Amino acid sequence: MKLPEGRKGRAPELEAAGEVPHVLLAAEAASISGEADAKSSPSAISVWNKRARADIRLSFLIHDVSRMRRAAYEQVMRPHGITRAQWWILAHLSRHDGMMQTQLADILEVGKASLGDVITNLVCAGLIERRLDPSDKRARRIFLTRKAQSLISEMAAIEVRFNTRVFGALSTSERSRLYKSLLAVKHAISELPLDDNLKVSDAALDD
């Protein structure tokens, strides 16, 4: 399996996608090309110091890695007739079968409406089923079907091979440090005073 490679000139691509503010792209381009020289204003020089430029490059790298992994993962899953979002839900239900949809949305940190669309597709595919909650007739719980159980075993093996290739260059301790670092970044983002429409918990699941 050949994993998709990153594209050159990604800054304009991100700008077009609305992922990165234009002012950051301009500042980063200037810092890399050396255009932020003595002609720049004193305030600009103080803001775009060495650490600031490194943080911007790290932000771009995180975005690139996420985009590339997502594209590669979708490519791996496509021959098996399942999307990344669907596999995400099935994998979680394999550990916590019988959850309510609202609980699943909270744990996966996705919008309830987006999750509902993916679940509906999984029901139509015969991979999960909704059942009434015995203690609350208004609530429904989500359960894996027998068909899903066999699929999960197959997909789990595929994911192990995929992750082995992706993280193969990292030692166990490096993986552990990377995991902890990304958790810290995730926590910092979750603490930002964002508008309700931008909160991480309201992110949509792409099916």
- From the number of C-beta atoms within 10 Å of its C-beta (0-12, 13-18, 19+), residue 24 rates as middle
Q: Hey, what are 25's tokens?
A: 């792209």
Long-range contacts of residues 135-140, Cβ cutoff 8 Å, at least 24 apart: 139/100, 140/100, 140/101
Calpha distance 201→70 (Å, rounded): 19
Give the contacts of 16 (CB within 8 A, at least 6 positions apart): none
pLDDT tens, the chain, 207 aa long: 555 544 444 443 343 344 444 445 555 555 444 544 544 555 555 556 888 888 999 999 999 999 999 999 889 888 888 888 888 889 888 888 888 888 888 877 777 777 888 899 999 999 999 888 888 777 788 999 999 988 888 888 998 999 999 999 999 999 999 999 999 999 998 888 876 554 544 444 555
